[in-house]
Amino acid sequence: LDAQVTSRRLAPVVLLVAFLLLMAYVPVPRGASPTIITLSRTGFTDVANLNPFSPEGVYGIYVELYLPFAANAFPPSPEVVPVLAQGWSHSANYSQWTLNLKQGLKWDDGTPLNATDLYYSLQLTNNTFVQGPFDAHSFKILNSTAVRVSFSAPDYHFVEVGLGSTGIEIVPYHAFSKQSNITAFANLQNIVADGPYVLYNYAEGTNPMVFQANPYFFGGKPQIDEAAVYLFSSFSSAINTYDSGQLDALWSNGAYSTVKPLASVQGSTLVQSVPATTLVALMNNWRYPLNTTAFRQALAYATDRVQINNLLNGPFASSSEVPWDMLLPQYNKWLGFSGDGPVSYSTNLTTASNLLASMGLNNVGGNLQYANGTQVSLNIIFNGGSADAGSVATLLQEQWSKLGISVTVTSESSSNEAALATTDQGWQVDVSSNAPMGPVQGPGILAEQSGWQVTDPTTGVNVTLSPNYIGNVTLAEQYPTNSTDFNTYAGSAVTVFAKTVPMIPLYDEFNWVAVNNNFFWGSPTQHTGIYNPQTVASQILWYETMALMHPLAASTTSSSSHSTTSSTQSMTAPTTTSSSMTSPSSAPSTNDYYLYAAVIVLVVVVIAALALSRSRRGHKAT
């Protein structure tokens, strides 16, 4: 039999494949006239809630929309910097605080952003469990930009901890007050916001989310018209997409080894930004032998942090070093310590062995044994989803084995690791960066170290940190930041922390941003744009990319004069009275129609191919 007929029958398939291949070379317009920048968010693919006061609000996105009153920052900035704030003051005994907003602030719909919004947001914060609570007993609007907050007892750290550290977002009273059940409000339609880039409506399942420049942004209308934020479920896919030129910027955090592939992308710059969190070996000090300080100290002496840091952070190792009390070196100096903190455990196996011997543990033929002859063993768990934790756990296994300890390493799923680390069962050491805090920036937020949770199963009390530590922190909080008493108690707290080794801090994981060189992203010397040390909210989730990048210009320049000009322009007061402001588009176009159209096009191509095939056959028959 001849294959002629088969070949003819193959024609529609060949045509369809050819059509798909043709698609590869059809230039697809990337947006119309507006200047668009493409960014990325990893970890999720859908957004269904943008309400900061709902537990389900997607933090990584709503922080773009709602700016806080004040935010934490890293040196050289002060610990707390104003965002919407003009300033703040307190009564002599710190029981009353007056918060002042900047003049002339507006929401993206042109409505004034004033004391009513601040008052309403503070009340919501005080009354909902979602935001970090502060125990204010009353609020009072003083004038259009000022609110007074009163406490029944002095609150010395209200702004730096209560507002700055928690990054409480101010929401529009005229939009949110209409909701009868605030925590059930999804906030996806007719969104009113004040960030540099805003969403007016969002249809679930739309990816990317296309943000518009806010004409009323307090720093001036951003120079880029639109920012398209792609949601990625996998980081490797985001890296590939960035590498292929589809993205203009990619954010990440972790050790340098995580972002190393981004360092070699052509036409791109990789920037190490503010610290994100600290990778630690967390001890389960509820169970023997880890409930013995000498044992934990022995592990500290046996740990070669320099080797681990060098292997994971390569050229950025020196900036990733972390003191044993986990404070930034600048803040250690506040407390009268050297930059390394109150204690240092230089790698010393002899000291480590002596500490173990003092506990009655014997090294028999290279094996560490309890008095009854049982081998001493340790199990290190780590989050299997973390890029670095596995490598670090293996390095620790290697280092601690030198003491004669039998060390095993177990990979756990992210959820299981998180679940285990909040109880006293099923683990001994957890290599984790999945902690509810970043590096402790300054003495004002020392209390955040209590975020490390290992809970006594009977009392529910956090047992990771000693009562002595917690007691000192509580005492420090009774005094204003940087006062003599505060520094004394804070110094005692961090000394206890470092000496009792509830965890071994290994290195600081940083926020990283890879940007293509086609845009001006800010000035490293002026600390603008992506070089801004301001975190706006929790530094571990440094998602405030759009709040930080507003000084952008749409063209490349390396001259410092341009960067200065650019950032200066961006901070110019906005021309909010202009009547020529165009209304934002009302609703996003749904992708469904395009999907259906694509299917129709494919079907039409197949039908056309079939028809062509039949007509050829008919022609041949005649």
Which residues make Cβ contacts (< 8 Å) with residue 5, sequence separation at least 6? none
80 sits in which H/E element: strand 80-82
With binding defined as CB under 8 A, does residue 28 bind another protein? yes
With binding defined as CB under 8 A, does residue 559 bind another protein? no
- Count residues near another protein (CB under 8 A): 101
With binding defined as CB under 8 A, does residue 581 bind another protein? no
Among 80, 210, 378, 493, binds another protein (CB under 8 A): 210
With binding defined as CB under 8 A, does residue 165 bind another protein? yes
Q: At what angle do helices 293-302 and 349-358 cross, to 10 degrees?
A: 160
With binding defined as CB under 8 A, does residue 208 bind another protein? yes
Among 325, 448, 477, 544, binds another protein (CB under 8 A): 448
With binding defined as CB under 8 A, does residue 219 bind another protein? no
With binding defined as CB under 8 A, does residue 132 bind another protein? yes
Give the closest residue to 220 by CA, choosing from 550, 532, 578.
Answer: 550
Q: CB 8 → another protein: shortest distance, Å?
A: 9
Taking the mean position of all CA atoms in its chain, how far away is CA 14? 48
Closer to another protein by CB, 475 or 610: give it: 610
Helix-strand-coil split of the chain, %, nearest 5: 35, 20, 45
Closer to another protein by CB, 361 or 417: give it: 417
Closer to another protein by CB, 56 or 485: give it: 56
Tokens 């004669």 correspond to what residue? 404
Helix, strand or coil, per DSSP, at residue 446: helix
φ and ψ of 59, to 5 deg: -55, -45
Closer to another protein by CB, 87 or 133: give it: 133
Q: CB 571 → another protein: shortest distance, Å?
A: 28
User: Which 252-311 positions form the footprint of another protein (CB under 8 A)?
Assistant: none
Beta bridge mates, 39: 229
Closer to another protein by CB, 318 or 458: give it: 458
Stretch that binds another protein, among 28-36, 248-256, 485-493, 572-580 (CB under 8 A): 28-36
Sign of CA dihedral 123, 124, 128, 132: negative
Q: CB 469 → another protein: shortest distance, Å?
A: 18
Closer to another protein by CB, 10 or 153: give it: 10
Q: CB 162 → another protein: shortest distance, Å?
A: 7
Give the closest residue to 474 by CA, choosing from 78, 156, 165.
Answer: 156
User: Which 39-58 positions form the footprint of another protein (CB under 8 A)?
Assistant: 44-49, 55-56
Q: CB 133 → another protein: shortest distance, Å?
A: 6
With binding defined as CB under 8 A, does residue 81 bind another protein? no
Give the closest residue to 494 by CA, choosing from 443, 444, 452, 454.
Answer: 443
Helix, strand or coil, per DSSP, at residue 160: helix
Asked if residues 463 and 421 have their Cβ atoms less than 8 Å apart, the reply is no
- Judge residue 102's burial from the number of C-beta atoms within 10 Å of its C-beta, 0-12 exposed, 13-18 middle, 19 or more buried: middle
Q: CB 212 → another protein: shortest distance, Å?
A: 12
Residue type, 517: N
User: Which 56-75 positions form the footprint of another protein (CB under 8 A)?
Assistant: 56, 59
User: Which 386-415 positions form the footprint of another protein (CB under 8 A)?
Assistant: 412-415
Q: Six-digit token pair at 4?
A: 């002629």
CA distance 351 to 357: 10
User: Which 486-515 positions form the footprint of another protein (CB under 8 A)?
Assistant: none
CA distance 126 to 620: 83
User: Which 410-439 positions form the footprint of another protein (CB under 8 A)?
Assistant: 412-416, 418-419, 422, 434-437
Asked if residues 283 and 501 have their Cβ atoms less than 8 Å apart, the reply is yes
Among 306, 560, 592, 604, binds another protein (CB under 8 A): 592
Helix, strand or coil, per DSSP, at residue 500: helix
With binding defined as CB under 8 A, does residue 586 bind another protein? no
Q: CB 364 → another protein: shortest distance, Å?
A: 36
Torsion from C-alpha of 341, 479, 274, 335, nearest 10 degrees: -20
Q: CB 363 → another protein: shortest distance, Å?
A: 36
CA distance 13 to 565: 58
Residues in the chain, total: 622
With binding defined as CB under 8 A, does residue 339 bind another protein? no
CA distance 429 to 592: 49
User: Which 357-386 positions form the footprint of another protein (CB under 8 A)?
Assistant: 385
Q: Six-digit token pair at 370?
A: 């309890």
With binding defined as CB under 8 A, does residue 18 bind another protein? no
Closer to another protein by CB, 52 or 341: give it: 52
Give the closest residue to 193 by CA, choosing from 213, 212, 172.
Answer: 172
Per-residue binding string, another protein, 91-120, x by CB under 8 A, is ------------------------------
Per-residue binding string, another protein, 594-613, x by CB under 8 A, is xx-xxx-xx---x-------
Closer to another protein by CB, 385 or 480: give it: 385
- Alpha helices (H) along 279-412: 293-302, 305-313, 317-320, 329-334, 349-358, 389-401
Cα distances (Å, whole numbers) of residue 63 to 166, 196, 521, 546, 613: 12, 11, 20, 9, 57
Closer to another protein by CB, 32 or 92: give it: 32
User: Which 220-259 positions form the footprint of another protein (CB under 8 A)?
Assistant: 226, 228, 230, 232-234, 237-238, 240-241, 243-246
Stretch that binds another protein, among 216-224, 287-295, 357-365, 593-601 (CB under 8 A): 593-601
Closer to another protein by CB, 227 or 298: give it: 227
Residue type, 14: V
